[in-house]
């Protein structure tokens, strides 16, 4: 059980890194428009202009 003394602080460090990343993404404007990002996955690269034949 002594491993908890190492594992829990490590978990805290991960947690801090995750928060830091999330805050960076927010400040970077990545969450400014949630409506659009939700549909982005549907609009894949094959639909880029110019190669409309490639998708089928």
Partner 1 sequence: MLMQVETDSACYHCGEPIPADCNLSAEIDGASRAMCCPGCQAVARLIADSGLDAFYRLRTSLNETPSQQATKELYALYDAPENNQDFVTETAAEECRAQLLLGGITCAACTWLIESALLATAGVSAANVNLAQQSLVVSWDPQQLPLSEIFQKLASLGYDPHPWAVSAGAELLQREQRGALRELALAGIAMMQVGMFAIALHAGDIQGIAAEYRSLMRWVSLIIATVVVLYSARSFFRNAWINLRHGRLVMDLPVALAIGLAYLASAWATLSQQGQVYFDSIAMFTFFLLLGRYLERSVRQGEILRQTDLQTLLPPAATLKTESGWATIASRSIERGQVLLLKSGEVIPADGIVLSGSGSVDEAAFTGEHFPRELTRGDSVAAGTLLTEGGAEMEVTADAAGSRLASMLQLLGQAGGEKPQLARVADQVAAGFVGVVLCIAAAVACYWYLQAPERALWITLSVLVVTCPCALALATPTALTAAHARLRRQGLLLTGENLLETLNHCSKVLFDKTGTLTQGKLQRIRLQTCGELDAADCLQLAAALEVHSSHPIAAAFSDVEVTQQLLDVEVIPGQGVRARLGDDQLLIGNPLFVRSKCAAADQPPTSRGHWIALAKNAQLLAWIELADSLRPDAESLVQALQARGLAVELLTGDHSDQGPLIARKLGMDEVHSGISPQQKLAYIQQLQAAGECVAMVGDGLNDAPVLAAADCAFAVNQATDLAKSRADAILLGNKLHSLLAAFNTAHDSRRVIRQNMVWALSYNLLAIPLAASGLIPPWAAAIGMSASSLLVVLNSLRLK
Where do contacts with partner 1 occur on this chain (CB under 8 A)? 1, 4-5, 8, 11-12, 15, 18-19, 22-23, 26-27, 31-36, 38-40, 42-43, 47-52, 55
Smallest distance from the beta carbon of 46 to partner 1, in angstroms?
9
Instruction: Write down the least CB distance from residue 9 to partner 1, Å.
Output: 8
Instruction: Give the shortest CB-34-to-partner 1 separation in angstroms.
Output: 7
Instruction: Report the alpha-carbon distance of residue 25 to residue 48 in Å, rounded.
Output: 26
30's CB contacts (< 8 A; 6+ apart) are 37
Angstrom distance (rounded) from CA 55 to CA 36: 22
């Amino acid at each position: 059980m002594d491993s908890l003394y190492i594992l829990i602080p490590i978990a805290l460090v991960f947690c801090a890194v995750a928060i830091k990343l999330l805050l960076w993404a927010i400040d970077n404007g990545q969450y400014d428009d949630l409506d659009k990002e939700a549909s982005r996955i549907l609009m894949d690269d094959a639909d880029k202009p110019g190669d409309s034949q490639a998708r089928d």
